[in-house]
Chain A
């Protein structure tokens, strides 16, 4: 099977690797526009924030005899009748199946003055590839003020990242709510409060109208509300547009992206497929890599020889979840990687229609400490959540959501449980312990047994150890045994406790003494 793959990003590179390992007869030619090895775009904002070393972006690059990667070579045209692709060097590649994994490009809003014939004005940038990240990082030492346009996931990550590097940051957003597709009013307000504490000023319901330059370098931006903000940097995080021009040109149906069915094939051509950001499946593209990786795994599975006969384990692929079983809805966990600002949403979040399903939404709003949690449950399953400022709830809810784990009968426990879980066993005083309270776990010795040993004449932990074996395993209960001896002795006011104390103190930090022997 000859496959031509256009695009070698996070989704394309994984697809090629998985395909050749599952299909021994697959040969893949990859037309990779960028002249670098595939890398992890998700971490670009972490590089800008200084949290991740740029070397961490490199993705696995296994040279494989059946994968032919043409770096720096673009696809120029496709002849669907002949099943061929012509590349920018003029070479013609025949395919049995053609896969678009061309991804997306940063949307550049219409802002007066941001570009000259030479490109974007120095100081103005987007963050879509490695070169963008490197350019931004290079500017940081000389910059004092930055404006970030767009408060989606990337915008929040860039704004907080630059703020953590000491820049004064203004975040400008066209909508009244941050991440308006994911967050409702209350959650957005809580997040906005947190941003303020991190040193990011937020201007909502506004956009950037024009930029001013001085000596060829950005000096200020003017907002649609008329405000002018001095700025050395303007980073535009105003969304993406799919890279679907070539597909459009060859007559494949496109909307926002390349339209594909559940089989990820174009409705117009069963030999042409699209995965990742450039694809527009019926459920819509999320722009999240999880969706793209899931599509790659699904496509490999569908193409592999009699997938039903594969062992279950093998069919799991390298994804986090069995691709066969994966409900595509479950890939839409949105996680903001912003230092100091934890925002996670999944499934139904923000403003959604409560009317259609039997939904139960439970929320906790705690704005003064920057916390908001909402869970949405339907038929005992978590179908959505919004979490701001609660790391533990965020982690547990997303693990639960992606696995469709049934929720507690009262969904409120989903919100309060992580906090309640922190309640340690109440350390009762020795006097309050029941007689059957286990003291020495290693030897199943209860408080009652120790008390009995003391009544039988044991006065030191060593003697109790000899009589009951308490403290002769891991030794952790030794001081507790001493306390019990002490509490038994206290009413009598005899010398028992003073005898036992020195042994306790020396033993608490050392190994337990042995039954039947004394140290030194």
Chain B
């Protein structure tokens, strides 16, 4: 390896003060070298670093990530709301005293469960862990959940019940390169995590990239010119495609029956259930020709090891997961992969493509309403006993399971809900579904505390804003989309009075009577986290910070692995999971029967069009960070709605002018973009913006009965042109 910037394999720091870290944004966690530039206009310079995931590549977000450190409106001191509705700055002691006294008061008067915590999938493992511990030990509230509920909950629920474990991709990303086929369901990694696309080069060269999306996205276009197949089903009908593919595989005798017999249970019930989805029936529901479905099924089957192929992967994204049948849809995808004998086999596999930076680690260590560190269930007496012992409290000190994000937010300020909320690493006002109601719910609170970098839309509603460190200002670990635990390293000092959430939690805990057990040193917290995870599904107990200097470690990595680690040659952890058995009592994958239902809010008279939501390359999540980066904001300055030319023509929409969108939840306004990449019955809006162009004013907050995932991805909408305010001159062309 050579690198003119001087980054090396094991680069904690170098002589030039550079550190090896990873991008602040998505779950690909592109490796970066951060070089402080004390004299520069920005605090540091960012360059790509060779790593198994990004191979040195970065997208525009990564290249410009240093900008966020210097956002002009960065919050650098605690802020307290004033009587006139504004904010004033405050010292830490005042702010923390206020927070702790208000929380204590509310809990004393109304009960422990009247304080809730909302976390984020971008927080480091250490922060996520400590947040969960703070909720259970200090606040003793069951109400903690996080924005990963909007992201990975369906995939996690489906993986857990099928395999007994959810590690995101159960294999190194680079394994994709050798496969003959990769089936991407509802993910647009070409836009959301561009360097990922390198790993698709192999299957594209062999004509095996299959992308399912109602739009011909950047990712779908990668399948052009013989590189693969793009399937554009009617929104909400993706699952029908998957069921029909499974039908065809059984019907044409392409299933891997030996694998199904030896490694799975329940396949006969699956075969019976998909008997109802013959391709011609599926065609009328999903709009994809029956023969096209056959072509895809045969392509996938030919790539499967049982038919002599080099391997096939089935990858799911938010497109199929953010549905009220999201868990079922991922389950259908898992059943498809199992039917072809792909899971737990080197060179093939199934996996969801995690979205948020630490979407994986964030769901493993106690931020979820029903979980304790190590992906343990809080309802499991043994797990409670073990974790409580680590935490130095009796097991009955720990509260029970809380409720998922959407109902938790809905209940705020009501009889059943919390009266105070702490928000960390999330901008729920923009990112939650039916966001108009979320704003109302936050307004009902007695007390809202938001820890944030910038005055995000959620922070602006707070009673107290606590300024926190981010990315290059802090140490910690993240767990990427392939379950790889990696190091985030501090390169520069945070500005002003900014503090880490670890420090904030320590200070609050002390004020609320817990003077020990809350370290603000990331490595100390990680050591405790590792111990707390020991014996759990997501077992980090064999991992230490020094072990993460190279390419990180893919969990599970029980403490017993440590001996092997010293040689340096032995790979640590578990790059590929399930090779011998699944994490179920009998070692077999469980195949669960699932069936399709139409979207909750399906097209109808008055709302005859589908609205789908998603992302653009330049923005991340609610845009709180990326909207503050000039270069990104210049490239994608405002909300827009993408429509097909035929739709535009019928509705009288004009490119560059505004359209109004109305659903059963609310209204939004966005500028019209006309593109033939979308189905004529569907319009698309990205969700990165607040205000009247916020897509989540429109989205449906009905949730999946198993995962609690809201139905972000599909709702019925009415679209109309907005009358131009300026008078149109006589004779002007439309």
Q: Which of A17-68 contact B (CB under 8 A)?
A: 39-40, 42-43, 46, 51-53, 55-62
Residue A199 is within 8 A (CB to CB) of chain B in the complex = no
Neighbour of B57 across the interface among A56, A424, A512, CB < 8 A: A512
Contact present for A316 and B197 (CB under 8 Å) = no
Contact present for A516 and B4 (CB under 8 Å) = yes
A318 to chain B, nearest CB (A): 5
A160 to chain B, nearest CB (A): 13
Residue B400 is within 8 A (CB to CB) of chain A in the complex = no
CB contact under 8 A between A391 and B289, given known A58-B275, A399-B234: yes
CB contact under 8 A between A399 and B286, given known A58-B275, A511-B57: yes
Contact present for A394 and B198 (CB under 8 Å) = no
Residue A321 is within 8 A (CB to CB) of chain B in the complex = yes
Instruction: Give B593's nearest chain A residue, CB to CB.
Output: A60
CB contact under 8 A between A408 and B59, given known A335-B284, A514-B50: no
The interface residues of chain A lying within 8 Å CB-to-CB of B59 are 442-443, 473-474
The interface residues of chain B lying within 8 Å CB-to-CB of A40 are 275-276, 278
CB contact under 8 A between A514 and B48, given known A316-B597, A473-B58, A475-B57: yes
* Complex Cα gap A357–B190 (Å): 48
The interface residues of chain B lying within 8 Å CB-to-CB of A407 are 650
Contact present for B272 and A61 (CB under 8 Å) = yes
Residue A409 is within 8 A (CB to CB) of chain B in the complex = yes
From A39, A58, A520, name the one whose CB has the most chain B CB atoms within 10 angstroms: A58
* Complex Cα gap A520–B2 (Å): 7
Main SS of the interface on chain A?
Answer: loop
* Complex Cα gap A61–B275 (Å): 11
Q: Which of B593-610 contact A (CB under 8 A)?
A: 593, 595-598, 600-605, 608-609
Instruction: Give A418's nearest chain B residue, CB to CB.
Output: B289
The interface residues of chain B lying within 8 Å CB-to-CB of A520 are 2
Residue A405 is within 8 A (CB to CB) of chain B in the complex = yes
Contact present for B3 and A394 (CB under 8 Å) = no
Neighbour of A52 across the interface among B50, B252, B276, B595, CB < 8 A: B252
* Complex Cα gap A382–B63 (Å): 49
Contact present for A399 and B271 (CB under 8 Å) = no
Residue B102 is within 8 A (CB to CB) of chain A in the complex = no
Contact present for A474 and B650 (CB under 8 Å) = no
Contact present for A402 and B284 (CB under 8 Å) = yes
Contact present for B288 and A395 (CB under 8 Å) = yes
CB contact under 8 A between A512 and B198, given known A313-B600, A318-B597, A413-B646: yes
Number of A-B contacts (CB under 8 A): 223
Residue B680 is within 8 A (CB to CB) of chain A in the complex = yes
Contact present for A391 and B291 (CB under 8 Å) = yes
- Per the CB 8 Å criterion, the residue count for chain B at the interface is 80
Residue A81 is within 8 A (CB to CB) of chain B in the complex = no
Residue B627 is within 8 A (CB to CB) of chain A in the complex = no
B590 to chain A, nearest CB (A): 16
The interface residues of chain A lying within 8 Å CB-to-CB of B201 are 509-511
The interface residues of chain B lying within 8 Å CB-to-CB of A342 are 291
Contact present for A515 and B47 (CB under 8 Å) = yes
Contact present for B251 and A442 (CB under 8 Å) = no
Contact present for B702 and A405 (CB under 8 Å) = no
Residue B218 is within 8 A (CB to CB) of chain A in the complex = yes
Contact present for B197 and A475 (CB under 8 Å) = yes
Q: Which of B531-565 contact A (CB under 8 A)?
A: none
Neighbour of B251 across the interface among A52, A311, A518, CB < 8 A: A52
Contact present for B597 and A317 (CB under 8 Å) = yes
* Per-residue B-contact encoding for A464-475, CB less than 8 Å = 1, 0 else: 000001001111
CB contact under 8 A between A56 and B194, given known A399-B286, A403-B603: no
The interface residues of chain B lying within 8 Å CB-to-CB of A514 are 3, 47-48, 50, 56-57
CB contact under 8 A between A398 and B598, given known A61-B272, A509-B201, A514-B57: no
Neighbour of B55 across the interface among A60, A476, A511, CB < 8 A: A511
* Complex Cα gap A510–B269 (Å): 44
Q: Interface size class for chain A?
A: 35 or more
From B195, B222, B609, B680, name the one whose CB has the most chain A CB atoms within 10 angstroms: B680
Contact present for A59 and B272 (CB under 8 Å) = yes
Neighbour of A318 across the interface among B595, B601, B605, B705, CB < 8 A: B595
Contact present for A55 and B250 (CB under 8 Å) = yes
Instruction: Give B604's nearest chain A residue, CB to CB.
Output: A325
Neighbour of A42 across the interface among B194, B278, B597, CB < 8 A: B278
A286 to chain B, nearest CB (A): 14
Q: Which of B279-308 contact A (CB under 8 A)?
A: 280-281, 283-292
Contact present for B598 and A316 (CB under 8 Å) = yes
Contact present for B285 and A402 (CB under 8 Å) = yes
CB contact under 8 A between A517 and B251, given known A60-B276, A320-B598: no
Residue A8 is within 8 A (CB to CB) of chain B in the complex = no
Residue B175 is within 8 A (CB to CB) of chain A in the complex = no
Residue B5 is within 8 A (CB to CB) of chain A in the complex = yes
Contact present for A337 and B275 (CB under 8 Å) = no
From B57, B237, B593, B600, name the one whose CB has the most chain A CB atoms within 10 angstroms: B57
Residue A16 is within 8 A (CB to CB) of chain B in the complex = no
Residue B253 is within 8 A (CB to CB) of chain A in the complex = yes
A361 to chain B, nearest CB (A): 19
Residue A455 is within 8 A (CB to CB) of chain B in the complex = no
Residue A230 is within 8 A (CB to CB) of chain B in the complex = no
Residue A249 is within 8 A (CB to CB) of chain B in the complex = no
* Complex Cα gap A407–B680 (Å): 9
Contact present for B250 and A53 (CB under 8 Å) = yes
Instruction: Give B325's nearest chain A residue, CB to CB.
Output: A313
Neighbour of B608 across the interface among A43, A53, A317, A406, CB < 8 A: A406
B301 to chain A, nearest CB (A): 14
* Complex Cα gap A95–B727 (Å): 71
A170 to chain B, nearest CB (A): 25
* Complex Cα gap A444–B198 (Å): 18
Residue A322 is within 8 A (CB to CB) of chain B in the complex = yes
Instruction: Give B274's nearest chain A residue, CB to CB.
Output: A56
* Complex Cα gap A511–B173 (Å): 14
* Complex Cα gap A480–B289 (Å): 34
Instruction: Give A321's nearest chain B residue, CB to CB.
Output: B598
* Per-residue A-contact encoding for B31-52, CB less than 8 Å = 1, 0 else: 0000000000000000110100
The interface residues of chain B lying within 8 Å CB-to-CB of A317 are 597
Residue A245 is within 8 A (CB to CB) of chain B in the complex = no
CB contact under 8 A between A443 and B5, given known A396-B287, A399-B286, A474-B197: no
Q: Which of B195-253 contact A (CB under 8 A)?
A: 195-198, 201, 205, 218, 222, 224, 234, 237, 240, 247, 250-253
Contact present for A59 and B4 (CB under 8 Å) = no
Neighbour of A474 across the interface among B2, B198, B272, CB < 8 A: B198
Instruction: Give B632's nearest chain A residue, CB to CB.
Output: A444
The interface residues of chain B lying within 8 Å CB-to-CB of A322 are 598, 602
Contact present for B56 and A513 (CB under 8 Å) = yes
The interface residues of chain B lying within 8 Å CB-to-CB of A441 are 190-191, 194, 218, 617
Instruction: Across the A-B interface, give the 8 residue pairs with the lowest CB-CB distance, nearest first.
Output: A399-B287, A474-B197, A514-B56, A473-B194, A391-B289, A442-B194, A398-B284, A474-B194
Residues on A lying within 8 angstroms of B by beta carbon are 39-40, 42-43, 46, 51-53, 55-62, 290, 311-313, 316-322, 325, 333, 335, 337, 342, 391-392, 394-396, 398-400, 402-409, 413, 417, 421, 424, 441-444, 469, 472-476, 509-518, 520
A-B contact pairs, 12 of them (CB 8 A): A51-B252, A52-B251, A53-B252, A60-B269, A60-B593, A313-B705, A320-B281, A335-B283, A395-B289, A404-B608, A473-B194, A476-B197
17 more contacts with CB within 8 A, not counting A43-B278, A512-B57, are A43-B275, A52-B252, A290-B281, A317-B597, A319-B598, A394-B283, A395-B289, A404-B605, A409-B649, A441-B218, A442-B57, A472-B48, A472-B57, A474-B194, A510-B201, A511-B198, A515-B47
